[in-house]
């Protein structure tokens, strides 16, 4: 393929993932990972290709190690390089206080929100690291401000999974810095997205007055932070967290 850097976005067919894809398409080729919505992913790929990006879509459940390794093999086959991974795929894992949490819910939540990003980071780093033939690269983990705030009465389980992502970000940033791989995270706060469909109606409107900026953020605002982190402008930035949370 060409000389454009290649970005893989997990959960990339909609929401924040799709916003990142749109923002990156001007100067990246894109791999859009999706779990089940093939038509949505294909429509996004067509949009991005009109802007000059080479785009492939790859169906894979990031919680499944075999599917993850097959996804990265597809990237190797088509592009022969990987420059950026955006670990965006994640699930809410249900809504409610501690009494509503059960083991089945937690098992799937941990699998998608923790195991998935670890597996994808492992595969991405193996291709990027400069001590093993790679050209360096950037991993951006999509965490959540809930990792800091705790998600009490609504999403403590989700917040805990994102707390694990924060620790992973710090540890991998230190582990991979000397081999040319930067690892950072973006922590969105209240963002206007379908995430809130998991909660009772009107959550965004109820929450907006608690935000210092008095509004929800947008997926495009999150994407802008991601694009800065993968850019050369952030070349000395690793192990960092950008809160896109309106001051909360």
Catalytic residue among 50, 95, 158, 236: 158
3-state secondary structure the chain: CCCCCEEEECCCCCHHHHHHHHHHCCCCEEEEEECCCHHHHHHHHHHHHCCCCCEEEEECCCCCHHHHHHHHHHHHHHCCCCCEEEECCCCCCCCCCHHHCCHHHHHHHHHHHHHHHHHHHHHHHHHHCHHHCCCCEEEEEECCCHHHHCCCCCCHHHHHHHHHHHHHHHHHHHHHHHHCEEEEEEEECCECCHHHHHCCCCHHHHHHHHCCCCCCECHHHHHHHHHHHHCHHHCCCCCCEEEECCCC
- 158 has catalytic annotation: yes
- C-alpha pair distances (Å), 47 with each of 53, 56, 59, 227: 9, 12, 18, 19
CB atoms under 10 Å from CB of 228, counted, come to 15
Query: Mind telling me the catalytic residues?
Result: 158
């Amino acid at each position: 393929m060409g000389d454009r850097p290649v970005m893989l976005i997990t959960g990339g067919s909609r929401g924040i993932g799709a916003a990142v894809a749109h923002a990156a398409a001007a100067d990246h080729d894109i791999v859009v990972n999706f779990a089940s919505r093939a038509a949505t992913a294909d429509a996004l790929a067509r949009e991005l290709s009109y802007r000059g990006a080479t785009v492939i879509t790859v169906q894979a459940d990031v919680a499944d190690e075999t599917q993850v390794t097959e996804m990265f093999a597809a990237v190797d086959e088509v592009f022969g390089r990987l420059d950026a991974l955006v670990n965006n795929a994640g699930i809410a894992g249900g809504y409610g206080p501690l009494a509503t949490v059960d083991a089945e819910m937690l098992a799937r939540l941990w699998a998608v929100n923790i195991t998935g990003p670890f597996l994808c980071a492992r595969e991405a780093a193996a291709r990027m690291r400069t001590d093993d033939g790679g050209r360096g690269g950037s991993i951006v983990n999509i965490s959540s401000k809930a990792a800091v705030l705790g998600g009490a009465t609504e999403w403590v389980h989700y917040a805990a999974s994102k707390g694990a992502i924060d620790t992973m970000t710090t540890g991998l940033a230190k582990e991979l810095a000397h081999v040319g791989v930067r690892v950072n995270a973006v922590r969105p706060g209240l963002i206007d997205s379908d995430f809130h469909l998991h909660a009772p109606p009107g959550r965004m409107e109820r929450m907006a007055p608690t935000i210092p900026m008095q509004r929800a953020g947008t997926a495009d605002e999150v994407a802008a932070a991601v694009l800065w982190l993968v850019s050369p402008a952030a070349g000395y930035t690793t192990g960092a967290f950008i809160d896109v949370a309106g001051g909360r």
